[in-house]
Amino acid sequence: MLLNEAGIPIFDPTVWSVARYRASSSATMEQALRSAMLVHLFCRRHRIDLNERFKAGSFFSTDELEAFAVDASKPFAELHKPLPRASRRRQSRRLSSMAIQMPIRTLPPQKAVKVVGDPTVRVRLHYATRYLNWLGEREKSRKVFGAATSTDTLVRTHEYELRLLKMIEQIEERSPSGPGNARMSLEPAQVARLLEVTDPDSAMNPWLDPFVRVRNSLIVRWLLGTGMRRGELLGLHVRDFDRGKAYCDIKRRHDDKRDERRRQPNAKTVERFAPLDELLVRLGEDYLKARQGIETARKHGFLIVADDGAPLSVSSISEIFASLRQRFPELGPVTAHVLRHQWNEDFSAYADSIGMDPEEEARERSWLMGWSATSTMPAWYLKRRTKKQADEHSKAMQRRLMSHANEIRVRIRALQDEPKH
């Protein structure tokens, strides 16, 4: 829940999050509430009465929308600070002769402004617009204008809806553009290098502790081989790893009272079985032997643990990949989520190699990734694959065309070089 300074839940964000995100994961609800917090912090900093604005249908001015987009790129620690008051001193336009003769001093260097990444800004603005739209739809249903006739009510409600829609569009226009054609997976050489440096027996392995080496090798290979999310991996219990049937049972365990981690990892998608081949099963068995040697780990059922035996945290997974990126820059932007994208790229390549029907590919991808039957994610990956194939076909056509043009050029030069009679 989103709380005010007195520790009391704020009414509107609480109702909105429960009404819209009750069935979502705790991580999704947290993102939504943080975006609602962005809205309320912005209004507090700029002394805007959000309720009055929505009742009147005036919403935000253009300048305020610009300021809101700027606030969306700042860390929340900055947004909790009040805006600096404008200086009331007016600088004199008169300059004394002494001041004119004084050399101009260099301005002191300014501190670099801390900003969050574009993906974070996009997520914030995405949920913020949903929250603002929910507030607007609620006010519209209340017929806040107090119109006297039904016709007048329809007209005023329509005008209100148009102003609300325009505000939402203006915020969306200020959202940073997506990654576009940026690669969200790894090159084959990067995958090979990743497997090489994370092998427990590799001399290049950056970790010294034998248990950490085995565990991190398992993490990389299971994420790469199954495409599961890091939260799904960290939420696994020992009993979820079925060595006989060769799969991991991914379950949703939101608000698990046995999980004492401050930020509980959990599955964002539907429950499913993640199949494992013989090598991944063997890695899991080797890891369980190493885990068994840690006394604290034997006191709870979580599969992936830290070197002290406590359940591994989400931030620790991020640190593992941060260490790999720092030690081996040639790995590129490798993260746990990039490995999920890598799995999807590999699945697309495999589907192409066996001539899998697109509909069957979408069904299997949805099942293996834990997406619902109505999810648009399979279509997104199919679109990426179609674009890649279209690009390759276009380049092949260009090569044929340029080859023909070169032949013509050679003939023209040959004719020009012939002796004239």
- Give the rounded distance of the alpha carbon of 125 from its chain centre: 13
Shared domain for 123 and 216, answered yes or no, is no
Of 344, 359, 374, which residue sits at a domain end?
Answer: 344
In this structure, the answer to whether residues 233 and 164 fall within a common structural domain is: no
Neighbours of 132 (CB within 10 A): 22
In a domain, 350, yes or no: no
Give the count of domains, the chain. 2
The CA distance from 276 to 218, in Å, is 12
- Which helix (H) or strand (E) segment holds residue 247: the answer is strand 247-250
Residues 243 and 268 in one domain: yes
Q: Find the CATH number of the domain harbouring 239.
A: 1.10.443.10
**Residue 325 in contact with residue 334, Cβ under 8 Å?**
yes
How far apart CA 34 and CA 205 sit, in angstroms, is: 38
Residue 332: left if φ>0, alpha if ψ -120 to 50, beta else—which one?
A: left
The predicted structure's pLDDT at residue 315: 87
Indicate the residue among 319, 344, 369 that finishes a domain.
Answer: 344
Residue 388 lies in a domain: no
Which residue among 302, 329, 344 closes a domain? 344
Report yes or no: 232 and 334 within 8 Å, Cβ to Cβ: no
| Claim to verify: residue 220 and residue 163 sit in the same structural domain | no
pTM score of the predicted model: 0.61
Q: Of 24, 20, 67, which Cα lies nearest the Cα of 48?
A: 67
Same domain, 21 and 137: yes
Does 283 lie in the same domain as 244?
yes
Q: How far apart are CA 188 and CA 141, in angstroms?
A: 55
User: Does any domain span residue 232?
Assistant: yes
Residue 113 confidence (pLDDT): 63
Residue 415 belongs to some domain of the structure: no
258-313 per-position pLDDT tens digit: 887 877 777 767 788 889 999 999 999 999 999 999 999 999 999 999 999 999 99
Q: What angle do CA 203, 204, 210 make, to 5 degrees?
A: 65
> Are residue 128 and residue 243 in the same domain, yes or no?
no
Task: Say if residue 45 is in the same domain as residue 69.
Answer: yes
CA distance 216 to 197: 11
Same domain, 327 and 249: yes
DSSP state of 206: S
- Whether 100 is in a domain gets the answer no
* Same domain membership, residue 160 and residue 50: yes
- How far out from the chain centre does Cα 266 lie? 16
Strand order of the β-sheet with 272-275 is 241-242, 247-250, 272-275
On whether residue 408 sits in a domain, the answer given is no
Statement to judge: residues 122 and 158 lie in one domain: yes
Q: Has residue 109 been placed in a domain? A: no
Residue 270 lies in a domain: yes
Residues in the chain predicted with pLDDT less than 50, given as ranges, are 87-103, 144, 180-181
Residue-by-residue DSSP string for 92-121: PS---HHHHHSPPPPPPPPPPPP---HHHH
Domain hosting 282: range is 188-344
Residues 151 and 192 in one domain: no
